[in-house]
Amino acid sequence: MTQEHTVNEDMEEEEEEEIEEQQEDWEDWNAEEDDSDPDFLCLFCGSKYSSSETLFEHCSSNHYFDFQSIRKTMGLDFYDSFKLINYVRSQVAANRCWSCGLTCQSNKDLQNHLHEVVSFKDIKLLWEDDNYLKPFMQEDSLLHSFGEDEDAEDDYNPSIDREDLMRDLGNSVDFEKIFIDDQNSLDMVPSDPDTTNENERNVTSCALNNFLDMENPLEKATINDIEAKEDIGSSDRKRKVKHLKVSFANVVAKERKSVNENYFGAYGSFGIHREMISDKVRMNAYRGAILNNPSLLIGATVLDVGCGTGILSLFAAQARASRVIAVEASDKMAAVATQIAKDNGLLWDGSPSIQNKQCTGAVNVVQCMVEELDKFIQIQPHSVDVLVSEWMGYCLLYESMLSSVLFARDRWLKPGGAILPDTATIFVAGFGRGGTSIPFWENVYGFNMSCIGKEVVEDAAQLAIVDVVDSCDIVTNAVAVQNFDLATMKHDEMDFTASFELEPKLDSPVNHSSDMQSQTTRCYGVVLWFETGFTSRFCKEMQTVLSTSPYTPKTHWSQTILTFREPIIIASGEPNVDGLAVVGTDTCPASRIHSRISIVRAVLHRSIDISLETTAIGSDGRKHSCPVQIFNL
């Protein structure tokens, strides 16, 4: 008993020391924050102020934006107000009026246009999207401070269940551990086409660091509209402080869990798997690479990440791999893959046969996420010879499954082991009128419905569209914008910014003039596609390429279409131009289009954000820059 009592005392002392160290770290962190003199940047111009109060007074008197009045009139809570600030910043970056949606040519024009809110009806819908919970501007001091006065005046203290609160807040969550999508999600705030990385920003939880006011003896935390106030004056309460430091991390974790459940649940639908298996381009590429490279597969240990029905695992077993670990997160599909392997005599049962003293079958289906594989089976790190996965999504990176593949590569693949496919490339080209819905609506059973087509094109300027583009509707050259080496790439390389130039195709069938000196056509936007390669690095006997190009047979991935707000007139040759006209118009066609594209993982797990900056360049060197566009997929 004495020994046990001593051990307990030691444990309590160690725990108290640990808590005191964490509290000191937290206080040091807060002290650093307090020592800084925050600059509050105006939502609409470059003016800076020493407090949020003076900033909002400036916005009200100079930009017709009365933040506190809007909050009161619309009954905005903390999260709604947080989203409103990010929404306004995003609109101003695009030179767009936050209340009426009018796009201006410059920030100066926007300043002149700003006006009082005409009607508050339905305006809140403009920033309903939870993407606006993501800080639009890095280290935006305004997000930390706008609610301070309200917190001081608000005496509302609803009763809550203590156990539920502590369960929601989580246990001992450190700030260093609050990351969204492996610390690599980026926020896109493109503003200056001449700066390369300004629109690449790491999304961290710093925007909500002051969400809890640690200087106040009443500790306050908010999760899912639940407020709790804890008196931490006594030493007994010190142990609870660490539980109240961070709430946003648990919200993010719950959101990611929910998205993952929906994502893997969706793959429980057989219709999706039929579509993928019916894709001959997809299947022929994988089947050819697996079955026609015996030096790679015979006797190998293979890891199939996201096996689905297990078709790639069956190919690997057919290619005489000694062991195939088929990992599938969907419980339904894991059961289905197990049954399929069993029905085909390829399921590994873990017991040696009498004849050859080897385990019968090769395929071992494991229902889990690959990041947790070693919790479900015995597997040594770096023990896999071949890692195979069909991880590609729309625009290559949608679904963010590549991060799981890279995790599996780093954790389980042997040094020098093979990854199939081992390369991936994203391509871009400009498309013409036929790539839009305009022609369809111009003749609907003999009736002109082009007014619908125009509206659809306007809507398409805000949303990435997945559809098939005919090769005859491509009006520029194609350019590779990003190459990925899957054997060596790092996780943060999934988020990238790249610049490219498009020039008119001389043989484009969709031109507007037959002038021998020049041919003009309208470029309505850009189309993205990808190719993955099974190269000679690992596939010694037979190499293959899986292409989703408009110039090859169509696949279930189709292409990804990004539509310009206004088409850009482009011309090959030497057109006669009006030196006073805007470049990219009928009277002054552009000779080329310079663009910069950023593709990053969005805060909404498994989604991606795309930003596109476009500049029309005339034959005389003059330029016309179009407002930046943000697309979500």
pLDDT at res. 201: 37
Closest CA to 305 of 180, 394, 399: 399
Domain(s) of CATH 2.70.160.11: residues in the chain: 424-507+517-632
Give residue 355's pLDDT.
Answer: 45
Which sequence positions are flagged as catalytic? 390, 399
- DSSP, collapsed to helix, strand or coil, labels residue 316 as helix
Q: Where in 478-517 does DSSP place strands (E)?
A: 479-485, 496-502
> Hey, which residues does 612 pair with through a beta bridge?
597, 629
pLDDT for residue 250: 55
Homologous superfamily of 270-390: Vaccinia Virus protein VP39 (3.40.50.150)
Identity of the residue numbered 502: L
Distance between terminal CA atoms of the chain?
63
* CATH architecture, range 424-507+517-632: Distorted Sandwich (2.70)
pLDDT digits (tens, 9 = 90+) for 255-299: 555 555 555 455 556 778 799 999 999 999 999 999 999 999 999
Residue 273: its pLDDT value, please?
79
Report in angstroms the alpha-carbon separations of 24 from 28, 232, 293, 525: 6, 15, 59, 54
d(CA 175, CA 211): 13
Full-model pTM: 0.61
Delimiting residues of CATH 3.40.50.150 domain(s) in the chain: 270-390
Q: Report pLDDT for 493.
A: 93
Q: What is the predicted pLDDT for the residue at 158?
A: 41
Q: Would you say 315 and 290 are in contact if contact means Cβ atoms under 8 Å apart?
A: yes
pLDDT along the chain (633 residues), means of 10: 48 55 50 55 91 90 90 84 90 90 87 84 77 84 68 41 44 38 37 40 37 37 38 46 46 54 56 89 97 97 96 96 95 94 91 47 94 94 97 88 94 97 98 91 93 86 91 96 97 93 78 56 96 98 97 96 94 77 90 94 76 92 91 84
Q: Are 51 and 96 in contact (CB under 8 A)?
A: no
Phi first, then psi: give them for residue 159, nearest 5 degrees.
-80, 140
324 Rama sector, left if φ>0, alpha if ψ -120 to 50, beta otherwise = beta
Q: Classify 534 as helix, strand or coil.
A: strand
Q: Give the strand pairing for 384-388 and 301-305.
A: parallel
Q: Which pLDDT score, from 0 to 100, does residue 34 have? A: 46
Q: Please, what is the angle between helix 331-343 and helix 311-318, to 10°?
A: 30
Question: 615 φ, ψ to 5°?
Answer: -130, 125
CB 438 within 8 A of CB 449: no
Helix axes of 67-74 and 78-93: crossing angle, nearest 10 degrees: 130
Q: What is the pLDDT of residue 170?
A: 45
For 62-82, write each residue's pLDDT tens digit: 999 999 888 888 888 887 888
Q: What is the pLDDT of residue 457?
A: 84
